[in-house]
Copies of this chain bind each other. A is one copy, B any other.
Amino acid sequence: MVKLKIPEHQVAGHQAKTGILGPLIDDSGKFYKPLQGDERGSNELAFYTSLYSDPRIPSNILKFFPSFHGSETIDASDGSGLHPHLILEDIVSNYTNAAVVDIKIGSRTWQPQSSEDYIRKCLQKDRESSTIKLGFRISGLRSVGPSNKLWQPHRKLLMDLSADDVMLVLRKFVSSDGDVDEPDVVFGSRVFVPVLEELLELKKWFEVQTIFHFYSCSVLVVYEKDEKENEKKSARAVVKLIDFAHVVDAKGAIDHNFLGGLCSLIKFVKDVLAGLGDAGNNVSKDEC
């Protein structure tokens, strides 16, 4: 029986540490996500189950998804007994001091087939957050600075950011400290150059793929904040897609909702890089 614990780096979604059913991790780099009881759970399980054997997904795109190790019924974090969990890659387990941001992509988080009640709830949240204005919202963020100083803004503060706020949050995210109005952006190009490359690779696929529409799915950006570890190749900043409870069949059209939000995020990342001066200029102009 593996020893499971509550993840420190989870920045969005239901969190086990608040006493409710939430994900767990083990020491071998696995992330145990409780299956949601309704169709969301079965939808996400079905997505992961078929993803890695789907010949329509190009191999360079598979790296954007957490690896999947099946499902298992284990003791739930809330003490309610056995509960089925997805077994996924614990994305942050490779990092000594991971900085993480979760960005929910799309200006609409509900799929067309949703119930009226669900649409009403999502639409209200989309209107109250930056989702409708910016095409995404930051769902969570966590970063630990030099003297163990934690920067983890409350989700409610992150929900409804203006364009200027997003610029500041992204700049703080790549600073050593994070807790200042003029961030030092020391990790700026080391994070956002590879992140921009990956986002552009993802964009290229979203311009043509007519397989899935990803509603309420997030882009997770993770990088290594520990100065000693940061130079290692394994500590390269990564972009991952997570949360597939609301993925639906594309029915012949591209995912214009996700693509629009992704392009909006890309523009912010480019603007942050442009603001770094020379440090941000080592990405090809052709790609921008």
Chain A residues with CB under 8 Å of chain B are 107-108, 112, 123, 127, 132-135, 162-164, 207-208, 210, 251-254, 256-257, 259-261, 263-264, 266-267
Contacts and interface: CB of A to CB of B under 8 A. Distances in A.
A135 B257 CA distance: 8
Number of copies: 2
B210 A252 contact: no
A251 B210 contact: no
Contacts of A266: 207
A158 B267 CA distance: 34
Contact of A108 (B107, B112, B163, B208): B107
Given A260-B259, A260-B260, A267-B208, A164 B252 contact: yes
B107 A163 contact: no
A133 B112 contact: yes
A286 to B, nearest CB: 10
A259 B257 CA distance: 9
Contact of A256 (B134, B251, B254): B134
Given A112-B127, A133-B112, A267-B207, A257 B254 contact: no
A133 B255 CA distance: 9
A127 B115 CA distance: 13
A135 B252 CA distance: 12
Given A107-B256, A134-B253, A260-B261, 19 more contacts: A107-B107, A107-B260, A108-B108, A108-B132, A112-B133, A135-B257, A163-B251, A164-B252, A207-B266, A207-B267, A210-B267, A253-B264, A256-B261, A256-B263, A256-B264, A257-B260, A259-B260, A259-B263, A260-B263
